[in-house]
Structure 1
């Protein structure tokens, strides 16, 4: 499949998706959101891929936000559709993908860009990254899940502070509050992210898929039951049989 605003590449068993709109600091427009969604469908269906990395082109920006000129004249109904459709076709899809998605945040991650990173399962950032949700400066609020995912990551108080103040925070502060997992130099960011992805790719695809589903239920009231059922279901699957056999035979498993 060909794309205009993104680049899909392969690194061992990892799909690397690069948002490639450097002229607009990789801002998310409707076409880019749709292309990202289609790329994720392609990756999800292809067993050669075991993990996904999402990053931005250039050295300044992961995603600098949404493309505001696309919705500046919307009314209520159109704006609700924009938020709902974006969440359904991309942001929720990332969170619930059957393969782990890692954000390599290489610069500005603002508004929809930070929401994109927060939808990913893991976030690595470069030292020059700046993260924030500036929507209230436009008389708006985050519309792609920011008000829901940020409190889960950093707590309600810090989420309120960041959303209400609209301030940007540096990468190191983002790590301190749990918004990103690790911080690296810009040169190290993608290699370190690929290293993590390729480590994950050596493990059981079915185990990881079930783990994603279980972790996503941790605050739903159904988390323990999801874990128990998933644990049981895995006992009938080939990955479990190979993993246990490899352990007993003192060899590396071949998933």
Structure 2
């Protein structure tokens, strides 16, 4: 039975975590489903924005399900669980479409790291953020000590990761980690997504690439993507392809 759903509504795609009995804690199967859904929305030209949501009001996601990793060997934990999670979260962060995490409940551990991989976040007032991994003898493994540091001040990340303090919605808003705090966070996110749908998809995509390159998110690949996109629109590229197909020498004009 699927625990991560993809719902398509016009230009807005919703990727919904659906494991409320376990506070939407992530399992191996859920990570695989999330990855597959991201591949789907990336390839759909009709999707302008992606909402990442969760069932239930208690938690957006409380991280990784301990039963999914508790019995792994150290090598399996590092090579499979942590690296697979990183790969999938990086996939979310580098999605060409704008992404909004809708935090209708607490986001702890891997759940906070998942929200951090989205472009922006909206949050309900009662929700909080935390990195509680040290309490179960582990450390943040899905970018909580890396990507999160680009989005929050170092002392705040230390408060959560070292001292176990929770971050309130109000404080997260003041730090700029959350774009808006509202009782109906979903409605706010949907309105934002629909506004994105009224703009140029290509301009939004390239702007996201440029911002990420400046911030250091997959900079090398983004520089090549931007350069490749520019050259792909040139007459010289069209001439090179035509010449190859016709088995003749190309006549480049520098255009």
How high is the TM-score relative to the length of structure 2? 0.84
Shift of 1:12: 2.7
2:216 corresponds in structure 1 to 220
| SS of alignment partner, residue 70 of structure 2 | coil
Preserved contact between residue 154 and residue 179 of structure 1 (Cα < 8 Å): yes
Shift of 1:69: 1.3
Preserved contact between residue 151 and residue 158 of structure 1 (Cα < 8 Å): no
Preserved contact between residue 132 and residue 162 of structure 1 (Cα < 8 Å): yes
CA separation in 1, counterparts of 2:5 and 2:84? 23
CA separation in 2, counterparts of 1:235 and 1:69? 48
CA separation in 1, counterparts of 2:14 and 2:129? 21
Q: Aligned to 2:200, which of 180, 199, 204?
A: 204
CA separation in 2, counterparts of 1:199 and 1:157? 35
Shift of 1:200: 0.8
1:84 paired with 2:112, answer no
1:13 to 1:156, Cα distance in 2 relative to 1, 3 A: same
Which ranges of 4 or more aligned residues in structure 1 deviate by more than 3 Å? 219-223, 229-232, 234-237
CA separation in 2, counterparts of 1:118 and 1:220? 15
Q: What are the superposed Cα offsets for residues 37-85 of structure 1, whole Å, 9 maximum, x if unpaired?
A: 1111111111111110001101111111110111112222111121111
| SS of alignment partner, residue 145 of structure 2 | helix
1:232 to 1:7, Cα distance in 2 relative to 1, 3 A: closer
Question: What do you get for the CA RMSD once the two structures are aligned?
Answer: 2.4
Aligned counterparts, 1:173-252, within 5 A:
173-185=171-183, 188-220=184-216, 226=223, 233=230, 236=233
CA separation in 2, counterparts of 1:11 and 1:131? 29
2:139 corresponds in structure 1 to 141
1:117 corresponds in structure 2 to 115
CA separation in 1, counterparts of 2:155 and 2:129? 17
CA separation in 2, counterparts of 1:153 and 1:207? 23
CA separation in 1, counterparts of 2:210 and 2:203? 10
1:240 corresponds in structure 2 to none
1:157 to 1:230, Cα distance in 2 relative to 1, 3 A: farther
Highest Rg: 1 or 2?
A: 2
Shift of 1:134: 0.5
Q: Aligned to 2:58, which of 57, 60, 76?
A: 60
Shift of 1:20: 0.7
Aligned counterparts, 1:34-53, within 5 A:
34-53=32-51
| SS of alignment partner, residue 216 of structure 1 | helix
1:162 corresponds in structure 2 to 160
Q: What are the superposed Cα offsets for residues 136-168 of structure 1, whole Å, 9 maximum, x if unpaired?
A: 111211101111122111122222222111222
* Unpaired runs of at least 5, structure 2: 235-255
CA separation in 1, counterparts of 2:37 and 2:141? 22
Q: Aligned to 1:6, which of 4, 7, 13?
A: 4
For these two proteins, the number of residue pairs brought into alignment is 231
